[in-house]
Chain A
C-alpha cells in the first residue's frame, strides 16, 4: 500500500520555543490514525505543518509521494488535504451552505452545479442540512464542529486532518460523530485525528501516535501505545509505575 502522508524529521520553532522536534512517521493510504498527547505536545502545530498553514523549520512533508514542504496551503488543499480546527473557525459572514460551497468550488475545483451538489453532499454527510441557510455565526458549538467537517469534506479530500472534533460533545453526539468518521474511513479517506476523547478515537483508528513535548514517543496499535510506559509517564506522571 502506498503512503498517503510521509512526515520526515519535522521540526517547528517559534523563536527559541521548540514545538516539534524530529517528528517522523508515515500514513498508508486509507489508514485512520490517531494522534494523542498532553496539551502543548505540538499536535495541532503538526496538523498546521501538514496542511501548510504553518511552515516547518526543518524536515519534509510528502503527500502521495510528492514533496509539498514549500507548497502553500491552498495548493495542498487542491492536492487533497482537508483540515478541521480544534476551535471552529467558520466564515461567520457566510451561510452554512456558502461555507461548504467555498470548499467545493475552489478546493475540489468544481463548476457551479457540481460544486453545489458537492457542498450539499458534504452537508448531508455531516448532518448539517437543516442549517444550510443559517448564517454560520449563529450556529451552536456542535453544529460549528460539524460545519468544520462539512467544509473539509466539500474540498473532496483524500487525507482528512481532524483536530479534536469530538471535544465538548455529549456522549450521544460523540457516538454519532464516530459513526460518521468511521463511514469516511470506510470510503477510503486517509484520516489523521487528534483527540483527547480516546474512546471515540480508538473506535475509528487502527493506529495511535503519541507526541510529548514535540517529540514522537510511541507509534503502534492503540492498546500497545496506551499501555506503553512512555505514554503512561506523560499522561499520569512519574509517580505511577
Chain B
C-alpha cells in the first residue's frame, strides 16, 4: 500500500467514523448528555439488523428501514422514562445511566446470541472495488459509506436549519426552560433528539458490522472509542465536525498502518490526545451548541 492509497483509504474510513460519531455529537449538542453506551447502541442496532435478516429473510438494506425507526422509538422512550429524570439530578446521573447501558447491552447480547460473530451479508458488494491504478483500489462499500455519511450530515444540517423540530432542537440546546415559555414541551424535543441519536447509532452499527464482516457483543467497546475520538477531534455538537474528525482519525490510522500493523489504534489515539491538548474545542465550531 503506498501513501496515496493510504490517504484515500483513510478518507473513506473517515466516512464510517463520521456516521458513528453523528448520533453521539447530536446527543451532546442538544442535551449535553455524553452517551457512554453509544458504541453498545451501535452494536444493538447491528444485532437488530441480523435478527431481521435471519427471521424475516430480508436483505440488509431493507432491514435498515425497520431497525432505524425501531431504534428511534427506543431512544425516545429511554430519554422520556430514564434520562429526562436523570438530567434533573445533575450531570453525573445521565452519565451513570449510559454507563449502565454500556455494561448491560453486551451482556444481554451474549446471553441471547452467544459470543460468536454474526454475519451481515451484503453479497458481491463486500468485495466490489474500483481499480484506479496498480496500487490504488477503491472499495465500493467504503465509498458508499462515505457518500452516506455526507448525505446524512447534509440532511441533518437541513433538518436542524429548516424544520420546526430542528429549530426546537437548536433552541433547546441553548435554553430548554425559555423554550417552554415559547409553548414548546422541551422534554419531547429532547426525546426526539435522543431518538435520532439512537437511530443514527444503529445505522452506524450496521455499517461497522458490514465492514468488520460481522458483529459480536463487545464490538461497542472499540466503536465507542472511535466515535468519541471523531466527535472530539471534529468538535462536539458539530455535524460537519464529525466528518472532519472522522477523516482525521481515518487518515491517522491508515497512514500509521503503513509502518506496522499494531500502530493504527495507537497513532489514532495519539492524534486524539494531540487535538485535546492543542485545540480542545475541536477543529470545527459547533452549529448546534455554542
Contact = CB atoms under 8 A, between A and B. Distances in A.
Contacts of B174: 90-94
B289 A93 contact: yes
Given A77-B183, A78-B183, A92-B290, A102 B171 contact: yes
Contact of B182 (A52, A85, A102, A137): A102
Most A CB atoms within 10 A — which of B164, B177, B178, B290?
B178
Contacts of A72: 180, 185
A73 B170 CA distance: 19
A107 B290 contact: no
A146 interface: no
Contacts, number: 75
Contact of B179 (A83, A85, A98, A102): A102
A152 B171 CA distance: 15
A93 B290 contact: yes
Contact of B183 (A94, A98, A107): A107
A112 to B, nearest CB: 9
A223 interface: no
A48 to B, nearest CB: 9
A65 to B, nearest CB: 21
Interface residues of B, number: 22
B178 A89 contact: yes
Given A91-B171, A93-B290, A137-B290, A103 B182 contact: yes
Contacts of B247: none
B193 to A, nearest CB: 14
B288 A93 contact: yes
Interface in A67-121: 72-74, 77-78, 82-83, 85, 89-94, 98-99, 101-103, 105-109
A165 B234 CA distance: 39
A53 interface: yes
A61 to B, nearest CB: 15
Contact of A106 (B184, B288, B290): B184
B164 A93 contact: no
Interface string B148-175: 0000000000000000100110110111
Q: Binding site of B, secondary structure by majority: helix, strand, loop or mixed?
A: helix
A83 B288 CA distance: 25
A109 B184 CA distance: 10
Contact of B185 (A52, A74, A102, A103): A74
Given A93-B288, A94-B170, A77 B180 contact: yes
A144 interface: no
Contacts of A73: 177, 180-181
A105 to B, nearest CB: 6
A193 B171 CA distance: 26
A145 interface: no
Given A53-B177, A93-B173, A155-B181, 6 more contacts: A78-B183, A89-B175, A91-B178, A93-B290, A102-B167, A102-B184
Interface of A: 51-53, 72-74, 77-78, 82-83, 85, 89-94, 98-99, 101-103, 105-109, 137, 151-152, 155
23 contacts: A51-B181, A52-B180, A53-B181, A72-B180, A72-B185, A74-B181, A77-B180, A83-B181, A89-B178, A90-B174, A92-B174, A93-B170, A93-B173, A93-B288, A94-B170, A98-B167, A99-B171, A101-B167, A102-B182, A103-B182, A105-B164, A151-B182, A155-B182
